[in-house]
Amino acid sequence: MPEGVAGASGQRATRAQTWRRRGADVAAVLVPTVLFALARTVDSNLLLLVTIMVYVVLAQGVNVIYGFTGYLPFGYVGFFGAGAYGTYIAVAHLGAGAVEATVLGGVCAVLVAIVLIPLLRLRGAYFAIASLAAALALSSLVSNPSLQSVTNGPYGADLSQVFSSGGSYWTAVVIVAFAMLVVVVLRRSRLGLQLRAVRADQVSASYAGVNVVAARTGAWLLSALLAGLAGGVYAWAISTFYPTAVFDTTISLFAIVFALFGGVGTVLGPVVGAVVLYYVYNAIGVNDPQYFQLIFGVVIVVIALFLPGGLAAVLLGARRRLATRGADAG
């Protein structure tokens, strides 16, 4: 063989790796999107499908903020509710179309997140509790009767004038694609790398020139955007709702459990977690919600104690063990 082949084949190997990685990224965005787009042919309950997609997006939003920064947002539902009400206000008062209104719902959640940036100064349980308190405060603000002219206060929002089960379904599919794209790009991006560094060692990251506050704020706003879009499309799909329905802290809890169960820090983990657990919930939980919350509570404890990496870690671990066994045998 001519000289230099070793180097060239080495290069080819890395190029192959690059292509494989790109392929995996594209598949991670396309496969869930296409599956959800096709889902309507097997399950005609479009509201159920939208709800599952909403949880996929929320779980990815938790992935962005918790998986990349370590902030556990128990008040995550605040952004969801802000998105739902932003969408309602855009339709009812600005005369926006449903799709634009959904986008404005996302913007509305980002505005709330901007106001709440100071919460990022808190850590651990203090942050978790403060974010929950912020969500409760937002909820009582929205449902305050004196804001009836804006939010219709406690009497609930009505979006039936723009109702479209197909429209909200396809918008949800697009939002799922967007959420997948956000996570895939974030993982490969410089910001993603910086956030991993900040999580590992804040001081070292700062000396590396990383603006720790700005990097965390970026993740915070992105995760708020995802929750806001999810809230917007959910509001559109269910058409009429009370404040308590879109500021229900169970929504935060579900999103966190789904993300943790599937595996934060991975691209597909939260999707699998949301789909599997929501179907389980839908099969047994809706009728007996009290048992279901008990089960979810236990799932959180078990994951926290035994499976910090979620389902993804179990699967990756099994693959690695198989690989080493194969290597040992060969």
Partner 1 sequence: MPAESASAAPIGEAPPASALLAVAAVTKLFGPLRALDEVSLRVDRGEVLGLVGPNGSGKTTVINVISGLLAPTSGRVLLEGQDVSGKAPFRLARRGINRTFQIPKPFPALTARENLAVAFHGSRLTDAEILELVGLGGREERLASELTASDQKRLDLARALVTGPRLLLVDELGAGLSKTELDELAGILRRLVAELGMTMVVVEHLMGFLEQVADSVTVLNAGAVIFSGGLSEALSDPAVVKVFIGG
Point out which residues bind partner 1 (CB under 8 A).
Answer: 190, 193-194, 196-197, 200-201, 203-212
Question: Two tokens at 99?
Answer: 């799709």
Closer residue to partner 1, CB minimum distance, 93 or 121:
121
CB of 141 to partner 1, least distance (A): 34
What is the smallest separation between the CB atom of 197 and partner 1, expressed in angstroms?
A: 4
Helices (H), the chain: 5-42, 46-62, 68-69, 77-94, 98-115, 124-142, 148-151, 165-188, 190-200, 202-207, 212-238, 243-246, 249-262, 269-280, 289-306, 310-329
142, 243 contact by CB (below 8 A): yes
CB of 15 to partner 1, least distance (A): 16
Question: Of 253, 290, 235, 304, nearest to 131 (Cα)?
Answer: 253
- Number of other CB atoms surrounding residue 320 within 10 Å: 10
The distance in angstroms from the start CA to the end CA of the chain is 27
In the block, which residue shows the tokens 């929205």? 142
Q: Which is nearer to partner 1, 147 or 185 (CB)?
A: 185
Nearer to partner 1, 26 or 208 (CB): 208
Nearer to partner 1, 8 or 208 (CB): 208
Quote the least distance from Cβ 238 to partner 1, whole Å.
41
Toward partner 1, which CB reaches closer, 9 or 204?
A: 204
Minimum CB distance to partner 1, residue 66 (Å): 17
Maximal CA-CA distance, the chain = 83
